[in-house]
Amino acid sequence: MADYSVGEKILEERLFENDSSRPSEPDHVTNLKRGVVREAYELFLTHFGASPVNEIKAAAAPGRVNLIGEHIDYCDGFVLPMAIPLYTVVVGRKTYDQKRGFTNVFSSHFADPLVIRRPYDRIVREGMTWGRYIQGVFALTECSLCFDVVVHSSIPLGSGLSSSAALELATYHFVSQFFPEPLPRGVRSAELCRRVEHEYAEVPCGIMDQFVIALAEHGHALRIDCRSLSYELIPISISHDALFLIVNSGVHHKHASGEYAKRRKMVEEALRILNVDSWRSVTHEMVQEKLSSGDAMMFDCALHVVDEIERTVKATEALLDNDITHFGRYMCESHNSLRDKYRVSCAETDELVSLAMACEGVFGSRMTGGGFGGCTVSLVRKENLEDVKNYIKDNYKGGTPTFYESEPVSHAGPVKLLFLGK
């Protein structure tokens, strides 16, 4: 498990001590979450029938957008994500016949229901795809119960907004409610859900997505040190003048398809050639000396990692100073590096960034997430927001973009159905 400081342990305990210790979210955020939970609950009733309300458990997990610090969560870097008001909700109950030996799962995103059979730690290589996230959580929490479950989400799939990590954390907090003692929250839940990605979904991701979804607080981004797993809540105080606008390109990525894993293997090999323990010890001079005469793509990827680590530190300082001009500049530099050096953007996200930057009132724009499609995030002055959206909608050649006006929301957790007035 992570070795983090006493101060961070106290922070984690404070975050999860009880609901009253958390800053309350504004009504419009609460209503967004309530709406997704209500839809999930009604889907459950439709597919599995009525039950006494105390037998049905629910949990919700937000998506996330990474403001800067891309592809360096698996390179001991710093990242700056925030949770956003798009939610994945898991609603379910224990089956009345535990001898049947399987869990039924219905998702509003997919036509066919899933059957996940015990023992849950038996990895099924063929089929089941998204069901592996649920199975992995059951397996790694050593849950042996069988359930009837509905999964419902407002997070677009394959968009770079962490739909998979949200599913893992929502499942984790759902199943936790069936143990005699609740499962650990915070960092420990994030670490377990990252193992689900590695061992069951076979995606070699870093810990950023699970970490921010497990620990986020309303009104704050999270600056995560991915080497030590220490973290700091960063107030988003720009919200009175500007906001982060997420635009979905409509191009779906799939990390397990190979390119994501290829980049990770490449930077791991680069670090071996550099003969150091961590990218935090690497300088431009070291990269030039030891990598410039070798594989050109490895050289470029190494430069991105070194620059993005430094860029994220500077961008965080700018955000703390409420210097949105410089923060926006760092966003653009990050995108250019991801496009030209790490080579993980695509024509559609490049076009969305260019369109955004052609508009008055846009301070910066970049692709966000693992790349190869998905979303962009732009820092936009509020008074220019509608003009920016209209310009992008009228000029984007990649299809019909979807817009999400985002603000930082709180972490994943169980949801009482009394929350719905049930």
Per-residue pLDDT for 9 more than 60? no
Average pLDDT, the chain: 91
Instruction: State pLDDT tens for residues 281-318.
Output: 999 999 999 999 999 999 999 999 999 999 999 999 99
Give the C-alpha separation, 315 to 333, whole Å.
Answer: 11
Bond preceding residue 52 cis, omega within 30 of 0: no
Average pLDDT over residues 182-210: 94
Spatial distance between the Cα atoms of 91 and 149, rounded to a whole number of angstroms: 6
Here the contacts of 188-194 (C-beta below 8 Å, separation 24 or greater) are: 188/1, 189/214, 189/412, 190/214, 190/215, 191/1, 191/2, 192/137, 192/140, 192/141, 193/137, 193/165, 193/168, 193/169
Band of residue 419 on the pLDDT scale cut at 50, 70, 90: low
pLDDT tens column, 90-125: 999 999 888 889 999 999 988 788 999 999 998 876
**Whether the predicted pLDDT of 85 surpasses 70:** yes
Q: Which range has the worst mean pLDDT, 20-24, 311-315, 338-342, 414-418?
A: 20-24
**Per-residue model confidence (pLDDT) at position 223:** 98
Residue 4: the pLDDT is 27
Query: What would the pLDDT profile of 46-78 be if each residue is shown by its tens digit?
Result: 999 988 888 999 999 999 999 999 999 999 999
Q: Among the listed ranges 93-97, 257-261, 374-378, which one has the minimum average pLDDT value?
A: 257-261
What digits encode the pLDDT tens for the residues 208-257? Answer: 999 999 999 999 999 999 999 999 999 997 766 899 999 999 998 665 45
pLDDT number for residue 26 = 87
User: What local confidence, expressed as pLDDT, does residue 181 receive?
Assistant: 93
Amino acid 197: pLDDT? 94
Per-residue pLDDT band for 196 (boundaries 50, 70, 90) equals: very high
350 is catalytic: no
DSSP strand E in 236-322: where? 242-248
Residue 8 has pLDDT above 70, yes or no: no
Tokens of 96: 């009345």
Share of the chain above pLDDT 90, in %: 79
Report pLDDT for 21. Answer: 41
Q: What is the pLDDT of residue 112?
A: 82
- Within 249-283, where are the H helices? 259-274
Q: Region 143-147: what's the mean pLDDT?
A: 96
Question: Is residue 182 over pLDDT 50?
Answer: yes
Helices (H), 186-295: 187-196, 208-215, 259-274, 284-291
Q: What structural domains and CATH numbers belong to the chain?
A: 6-236+409-420 (3.30.230.10), 239-406 (3.30.70.890)
For residue 167, the tally of other CB atoms under 10 A from its CB is 27
If you search the block for the tokens 């984690």, which residue do you land on? 12
> pTM for this one?
0.90
The whole-number pLDDT of residue 111 equals 76
* Catalytic, out of 76, 148, 209, 350: 209
Contact 355, 392 (CB under 8 A): yes
> Of 5-14, 25-34, 240-249, 255-264, which gets the smallest average pLDDT?
5-14
> What number is the average pLDDT over the span 11-25?
45
Per DSSP, the three-state class of 171 is helix
pLDDT tens by residue, 339-374: 999 999 999 999 999 999 999 999 999 999 999 999
